[in-house]
Structure 1
Amino acid sequence: MIKAGELGKTIFDFTLTFIGTICISPLLAYIAYRIKKEDPGPVIFKHMRVGKNGKSFPCYKFRSMCVDAKQMLEKYLRENPEARMEWERDFKLKNDPRVTPIGEFLRRTSLDELPQIFNVLKGEMSLVGPRPIVQEEVPRYGIHIKKYYSVKPGITGLWQVSGRSDISYSERVALDVEYVVNRNLLKDIQILIKTFDVVFRKKGAY
């Protein structure tokens, strides 16, 4: 049975996302054109993430890397031990050689995440929630993974407005847990407002 709070959040997510998708459709089309023009290949990158109840789903993003990114990553990590340590620690590289010029701009502005609005419309994600993690990250949540599984991951959340990639992994987990424990619609609205400021200042994005 769906609780009243969850139903309200679902209605809020769908309504705001549906209206927003219509409003930004010209921007989505322009970004797709620029990606295709600069580096021919798929416009959308699908990466499997872990969602509510531990169910995996394809998380959508604008492709910000070259088409042979997987092979390039393996070669780069073999040749750069320090980069391998960074990857194993955060599952991210601060100076990722696979990122295209347009991809770097999309990442700095967080525009690469716009296609996740379709994940929201499909009911796989929320506008606000924990970071959508990959399967390899699940063990690092320890006993807190149950809280992560209890809600849908979000396009934005406490992590995004609290430092993003500039904070440690354990702090990310703590912020996800804090959100789940204290979540309500008012906090979601506050986080959405803060997200615009963070994105504008490009703080902690890479």
Structure 2
Amino acid sequence: MGNLMSRIAAAGLLLAAAPLILVLALGVRISMGSPVLFRQRRAGLNGSSFVMLKLRSMRDSRADDGSLLPDELRVTAIGMFLRRSRLDELPGLWNIVRGELAFVGPRPLLPETIEQLGARGVERGIVRPGLTGWSQVNGNTLLSLDRKIELDLWYVENRNIWLDLQILMRTFAVMIFGERETRPALKPKGTSDRT
């Protein structure tokens, strides 16, 4: 799907999802207070950066020394639901409308993480990052960073409309049934399954 068509589709979905987003935002506000949205600068297409939007899923609870407590101690019940169902990603539709995200692509990482990846980070950034991606439907939080990068680079080399549709369908399955690690065979582009 072209960038313009993606932006138009995202605008329509954002309007349709607005009542649900408002209900979820109210739940976040009641359980965690303000702000309702989590904003974080992420690396975008060709090394550009943008502010990614999500519904907040964790409190800002801190230890006596001022450092943030571990994630598992800060995530709330509604936050766990939002993460498992991927509904915390709904505000990311606005990032698609703005042309910063695609529906499908490597998930945007922190700029410093991309810098640490060196050439792999540069290669990964030649496509627009996505709201969902190949590593997200093959394990996501269950995977190491190296495995995610391996899957992302395979996607960059092999992306096509049919793969994107497969990723979108599998994303809905993850939303319903939760994450599980899979081990797809990462064949180079053009490799046949026939022996």
TM-score computed with the length of structure 1 as normaliser: 0.80
Counterpart of 2:57 (choices 45, 58, 64) is: 64
Q: Which residue of 2 aligns with 1:167?
A: 143
Q: Given the alignment, which residue of 143, 146, 154 partners 2:119?
A: 143
Aligned-CA RMSD value: 1.9
Pair 1:49 & 2:42 matched: yes
8 Å Cα contact 1:9/1:185 also seen in 2:
no
Alpha-carbon shift at residue 16 of structure 1 (Å): 2.3
Q: Deviations over 1:140-183 (max 9, x none)?
A: 42321222221111000101111111122111001111111111
Letter in 1 for 2:40: H
Aligned pair partner of 2:169 in 183, 186, 193 = 193
Deviation of residue 194 (structure 1)? 1.0
Q: 1:12: which partner in 2?
A: 5
TM-score by length of 2: 0.84
Q: Does 1:106 align with 2:99?
A: no
Is 1:21 the counterpart of 2:37 in the alignment? no
Return the offset for 1:12.
3.3
8 A Cα contact 2:107 2:132, kept in partner: yes
* CA positional deviation for 1:19: 2.1
CA 1:13 to 1:191, structure 2 compared with 1: closer, same or farther past 3 Å? same
Listed as ranges, the gaps of 5+ residues in structure 2 are: 182-195
CA distance in 2, matches of 1:129, 1:202: 20
Distance 1:13 1:65 in 2: 30
Amino acid at match of 2:4: I
2: CA distance, partners of 1:64 / 1:134? 18
Higher helix residue share = 1
Q: What CA distance in whole angstroms lies between the structure 2 residues aligned with 1:115 and 1:61?
A: 5
Is the CA contact (8 Å cut-off) linking 2:11 and 2:94 kept in structure 1? no
| CA displacement, residues 66-107 of structure 1 (integer Å, 9 cap, x when unaligned) | 1x35x4582546xxxxxxxxxxxxxxx5xx211122111111
Q: 1:128 aligns with which of 95, 104, 123?
A: 104
Q: Is the 8 A contact 1:49 1:135 kept in 2?
A: yes
Structure 1 alignment gaps of length 5 or more: 1-7, 78-92
User: Runs (4+) of structure 1 moved beyond 3 Å?
Assistant: none
Say yes or no: does 1:202 pair with 2:178: yes
Q: Measure the CA separation in 2 of the matches of 1:204 and 1:52.
A: 28
Q: Is residue 165–residue 204 contact of structure 1 (8 Å, CA) maintained in 2?
A: no
SS in 2 for 1:97: helix
